[in-house]
Structure 1
């Protein structure tokens, strides 16, 4: 029979029939793949994202690293090993944020901005609840705020007594220096307690009695720098189309210094843009 087939069918036809038989599923010589091409693509993108997170952390782009964590946390196709890797990266990102917030708190403390420093320490604690050193730092800042705030009534009482003396002898230069010292002390106390509007007004009072008072000038400069930071952050939010976030920062700035023209102009522009945005949403 085999000899007959060989004679009846050329070798080319036999080869074609074999190929046809295999392609029709008659014989599967290749084992089925347990991983789909889509799974392979997802794992490839995931691996690249994990590398990117490390790169972002190394370059100080903490928000970008956190964004990638959030994106992949919402992805439903992660297997157990991928979930473990993602959890480890999330801990790493949280630790980086906690260190960053702690560093900012230290700088704010040096500037006497204890109220803001306290907020940064709280943020760091939310990132790393297990760090006992952050609890100690928070307690220390609270003590400093309490100590500074307790001095405010004394300075105000002293200023009232000095002003009585001022009415009796308005041309006494030493009295002017003393009043400038008292107002500057009150300004520092208010500044440390986060009463920035009051601190700014007290610093200005000090400078009316002594235009060269270094302590009042320092408080005024610190508040101006803080308002610049808030305004710049508000402008960044505006450029990212976070209109209401930018408006909140501009209003926060103007609540301390209503004459801050840059924030006033920015607020007007952001409010107008937000009004347009609201109108568009209402019409949808």
Structure 2
């Protein structure tokens, strides 16, 4: 069991704030996190296996409201002049909830983030979704991305009955369904990893001798890398996500393998290190 009295994480100042624009190069492929907004999560509610003692020992994860600050946004993948988005943020919305795992959230920054990355909305040829929760498909419901193809795994689209009818209809005209291990963009392959949702999908991006696994909501917080058995309250199948997380962390600890956690505060890109004490997340900024 990880030591709850362990020293404060060396990147403590980055663990309780959402990320700004951050980029990495994988050979000729550039990946950039594009922030759209932030979600504030109630820590005990979103990670029900955690305790008050957990957060007392690790206050560095909590913002001034006592919440986990989870970034919400997209991953821009650029190669040879082409551009793909993975996920589409909240969209231009804001809300607060009186109870449950989600305290509050807001989006709206994706157009400005695209511009800051030197891209126009019309440059985006497709949006590849990890899953169909509202914090991942937001801008797909807006005119901003109306021209783009929407790439969704076959099992995720088959399970779209959880969507409101008007949302499903807005997506349907642009949808192309994906199968496991399909290449959807140069160096970007589909990996269907159900658990968080019925067709939750990861994207494996390779280039320059490195690979990056955009793992969607397989994890919501870097603290889960030290506690892989902790599934989130948002997960559809808790045992399945825990089993997958153990495999994912083993993979992320392999040489030349990086991860992208869209909700990972200001440490969205990182690698996993494994020691006798367990596994942990370490940000990578280049």
Measured against the shorter chain, the TM-score band is under 0.3
What TM-score, normalized to structure 2?
A: 0.24
Higher relative contact order (CA 8 A, sep 6+): 2
More strand by share: 2
What TM-score, normalized to structure 1?
A: 0.25
